[in-house]
Structure 1
Amino acid sequence: MCLGIPGRIVEVWEENGTRMARADFAGELRKVCLAYLPDLAVGDHILAHAGFALTRLDEQEAKATLELMREYAIIDAPAADPTTTGVTK
């Protein structure tokens, strides 16, 4: 079974002509390709699978999905706030 995981974009850059991002997934930072959603920006919430951002989520959807995944033990991560985790000012 394959799952899309909700995350929050914390950094965006271009790499070899493709927009890339670093996203925070329940406290874990991962590199994500934005080829399918090139207009995403820092602070946007996404659903990602296999290193690709596939869907834009609103903040409420992202939080609800993470909580449900924790409840059903799909992910084993601390209850990090996806709206603030990994953000540096």
Structure 2
Amino acid sequence: MCLGIPGHVVAMVDEAHHLASVDVAGVRRNVNVGLLIDEGIAPGDWVLIHVGFAMAKIDEEEAARALEGLQLLGQAYQDEVRAVADSRIT
């Protein structure tokens, strides 16, 4: 199962290539935010991530609700967090 998971933008690491450092459940990874450039992504924003790409900009309340719901999925949520931890976008 593939899930979208909320992440908190920590920093823009390569604006030319649309890469941001994002904290996902305590794991920091580079994520491509190119699909959201028109929305103005900046540190402090929350994004919904799927396979290394930020798919939508969300607010903090929506991120909290999504994380609560995802945690109820048990193994599927753990698998998604592990996939983020294992990913490498440089």
TM-score normalised to structure 2 length: 0.76
| Distance in 2 between residues matched to 1:72 and 1:4, nearest whole Å | 13
Relative to its length, the structure with more helix (as a share) is: 2
| Distance in 2 between residues matched to 1:72 and 1:13, nearest whole Å | 32
5 Å matches for 1:12-31?
Answer: 12-14=12-14, 17-31=16-30
Amino acid at match of 1:42: P
Which consecutive residues of structure 1, in runs of 5 or more, have no partner in the other structure?
77-89
Q: Give the Å deviation of 1:50.
A: 1.1
TM-score normalised to structure 1 length: 0.76
Note if 1:2 corresponds to 2:6: no
Identical positions, percent = 40
Amino acid at match of 1:60: E
Equivalent residues, number: 75
Amino acid at match of 2:36: L
Q: Over aligned residue pairs, what C-alpha RMSD do you find?
A: 1.3
Which consecutive residues of structure 2, in runs of 5 or more, have no partner in the other structure?
79-90
5 Å matches for 1:3-82?
Answer: 3-14=3-14, 17-38=16-37, 39-73=40-74, 74-76=76-78
Q: Could you list the runs of 4 or more consecutive aligned residues of structure 1 that deviate by over 6 angstroms after TM superposition?
A: none
